[in-house]
Amino acid sequence: MAQVISDRRDIEFVVHEQLEAQTLSKLHDNFTDFNKKTIDLVISEAKNFAVKELLPANKEGDEQGCTLKDGKVTTPDSFKRLYDIFNEGEWLAVTESPEWGGQGMPRTVAAAAAEYFNGANFPFMMYPGLTQGAGHLVENFGTREQKEIYLKNMFTGKWSGTMLLTEPGAGSDVGALTTKAVRNDDGTFTITGEKIFISGGEHDLTENIIHPVLARIEGAPEGTKGISLFLVPKYRVNEDGTPGEFNDVICTGIEHKLGIHGNSTCSLSLGSKGNCIGTLLGEENKGMKAMFLMMNEARSLVGFQGFACATTAYMYALDYAKNRIQGKNLLEFMNPEAKSVSIMQHPDVRRQLMMMKVYVEGMRSLLYFVQYSSDMANHAPTQKEKDKYHGFVEVLTPIAKGYVTDRSFEICSTGMQVYGGYGFIEEYPMAQLLRDCRITLIYEGTNGIQAMDLLGRKLGLNKGKPIMDLFGEMQKAIAAGKAIPELATYAVKVEEVTNKLAEVAIHMGQAAMSEKVLNAFANAHPFQDATGDVTMAWMLLWRANIAATKLEKAKKKDKFFYAGIIKSLQFFVETQLPVTLGRFSALMNTSSAAMDIEDKMFPA
């Protein structure tokens, strides 16, 4: 099996040439040291750790999985050592404040490490990923005392974290939760309830697990308005900061899943003996607002998880296609003397590899741009710029999670097809990549929910300013492309679909606020697909603009790289954008069939 899980040259292109991440060093004291040399060193170290440590443990984690005995979960044999050396390398909270054990790294740079780490072993990476997210909640909403107790222990990996939202009767309807919080005289709360599908809810990697828990205080309003957020440790914390008494958080089961076997997906019982104590995190009845901070970050992480499976599948499929000798070249098919060639010479295999290449490149640029926008939203020199980039993060998050994971699963499936029958066999890597990737379309808000968020919230956010700012960025790339002779034709096609998206967005937004609201939301996922297509076209054009300006003076190896970027744009414009125009036609119809059909018309 190939050890190349990501395209280092393309990562460098996005980080240095497209986003110019080295310029972030001027924006914040924590970023000062992150010049090009340092960034390249970070990428190299992440790649080495991923390939040498994370990747070898991936198949073992898949085959061994997690086991539950007497309420204790045991992770795969290699994971404890892996977790320890991961934390020794200080990888867990690289973007967080040095005050609490982080490195203050720009998110744009950390994205490259995330790509390598998740591509090598994303079931393992769920443990530190959730810990960082939970710690970020404490950092943003915790009291000084809570920060002192929890943050450094979490950001250094000594303790881990989770996210406790889902319940058996609630699912995606968080407002229907039944977990209760009863106020105690000392200001703490007694928590009782059941949570399910909790990633990393119980394991043997750390001495304590910190659970941010959504619950309703007695007497609070129904629905999401009455939900508060609590910190509930597996073991209560002694005054000296050490883990103390068990806090009545019991693992009652682990799920046997299609994929991500190395991560424990748990059912947790809180307070079954009446002895689960939590402390309020943030304000009463403002739990959902706080939790959305973690959820939005988690959605970006899930986008990276899906994408990492896709880029790994692409690199494996490319290596396999280059080395798998089978069949004659189509032009020599009737020649009895012709020798067999690599399957990469077969037209349909080349089409599949090109499809993988184009989407991987476009999605990489999109995901890194979202992280760059997050850096700028926090550290841009003016409030106007901060607001603009924050708007980009808001609008693009459902695309980065929903559209990206949809396409990533398709890429993993295409990779399996390139392998042929071997792809379907567990001895080869494609089966696990496909299985692991599938969850990314479901958790942290299904992709249907992402589509509803895009249509119902993001189009009209701040009176439509973020979406208009985004169109403005697209138009800049289009104008630049039209000024480059070899790209002008493609830029005009991208302009056509961008203008059509604006028209369709207005139509869908109006339908969503009319008597056709149900029909509009029945078409929300196709709208997300079409919006994602246009976003891909923008990213690919932006990339091609840079490549075209550098192609003539590039070194020989880079000439092929830059020319390949331009070919990616050509392929997408000529083969995918016509499909996007078809999506737009369907969306303008806003079909009512899905809502009009009566329940009895489905099979009994």
Residue pair 529/399 in contact by the 8 Å Cβ criterion: no
Separation between Cα atoms, residue 438 and residue 404, nearest integer Å: 12
Separation between Cα atoms, residue 365 and residue 546, nearest integer Å: 13
Write down the pLDDT at residue 173. Answer: 76
Across 557-574, b (16+ Cβ under 10 Å) vs e yields eeeebbeebbebbbbbbe
Residue pair 353/310 in contact by the 8 Å Cβ criterion: no
Write down the pLDDT at residue 499. Answer: 98
Average pLDDT score over residue span 389-397: 97
Residue labelled with tokens 């899930």? 302
Residue 175 has pLDDT above 80, yes or no: no
Separation between Cα atoms, residue 535 and residue 501, nearest integer Å: 10
Amino acid at 536: M
Told to judge if 17 belongs to the known catalytic residues of this protein, a careful annotator would answer no
List of residues 6+ apart from 489 with CB closer than 8 A: none
Q: Is the dihedral of CA 256, 257, 263, 264 positive or negative?
A: negative
- 374-377 long-range contacts, Cβ below 8 Å, gap at least 24? 374/107, 375/24, 375/27, 375/106, 375/107, 375/108, 376/27
Residue 176 has pLDDT above 90, yes or no: no
Task: Grade residue 30 by pLDDT with cuts at 50, 70 and 90.
Answer: confident
> What CATH class does 8-155 carry?
mainly alpha
Residue pair 565/601 in contact by the 8 Å Cβ criterion: no
Residue pair 214/164 in contact by the 8 Å Cβ criterion: yes
Residues in the chain: 604
**Chain segment 503-542, per-residue pLDDT in tens:** 999 999 999 999 999 999 999 999 999 999 999 999 999 9
Which of 218, 444, 473, 515 does the annotation list as catalytic? 444
DSSP H or E segment with residue 43: helix 36-49
**Can you give the C-alpha Rg of the chain in angstroms?**
25
DSSP H or E segment with residue 516: none
Under DSSP, the state recorded for 204 is: S
Task: Kindly list the domain boundaries of the chain, sorted by start residue.
Answer: 8-155, 161-285, 453-590
Separation between Cα atoms, residue 269 and residue 38, nearest integer Å: 46
Write down the pLDDT at residue 291. Answer: 82
**Chain segment 119-138, per-residue pLDDT in tens:** 999 999 999 999 999 999 99
Q: Evaluate whether 8-155 and 161-285 have a shared fold.
A: no
What's the chain's average pLDDT?
Answer: 96
Q: Which residues are 213's β-sheet partners?
A: 164, 230
Residue by residue, DSSP assigns 139-173 as HHH--HHHIIIIIHHHHTTSSEE--B---TTTTT-
Separation between Cα atoms, residue 437 and residue 498, nearest integer Å: 30
Across 383-409, b (16+ Cβ under 10 Å) vs e yields eeeeebbbbbbbbbbbbbbbbbbbbbb
Separation between Cα atoms, residue 19 and residue 292, nearest integer Å: 27
Residue 267 — φ and ψ, nearest 5°? Answer: -100, 130
Write down the pLDDT at residue 67. Answer: 98
Separation between Cα atoms, residue 58 and residue 118, nearest integer Å: 10
* Helix/strand/coil for 276: coil
Task: Grade residue 2 by pLDDT with cuts at 50, 70 and 90.
Answer: low
Write down the pLDDT at residue 557. Answer: 87
Residue pair 108/375 in contact by the 8 Å Cβ criterion: yes
Distance from first CA to last CA of the chain, Å, rounded?
48
**Chain segment 249-264, per-residue pLDDT in tens:** 999 999 999 999 999 9
Kindly state the tokens that stand for 285: 């009845």
**Chain segment 290-347, per-residue pLDDT in tens:** 888 878 888 999 999 999 999 999 999 999 999 999 999 999 989 999 999 999 999 9
Amino acid at 42: V
Separation between Cα atoms, residue 45 and residue 258, nearest integer Å: 32
**Chain segment 455-479, per-residue pLDDT in tens:** 999 999 999 999 999 999 999 999 9
Question: Which is higher by pLDDT, 430 or 295?
Answer: 430
User: Of the candidates 307, 248, 260, which has an alpha carbon nearest to the alpha carbon of residue 111?
Assistant: 307
Write down the pLDDT at residue 34. Answer: 95
Write down the pLDDT at residue 370. Answer: 98
Amino acid at 562: Y
CATH of segment(s) 161-285: 2.40.110.20
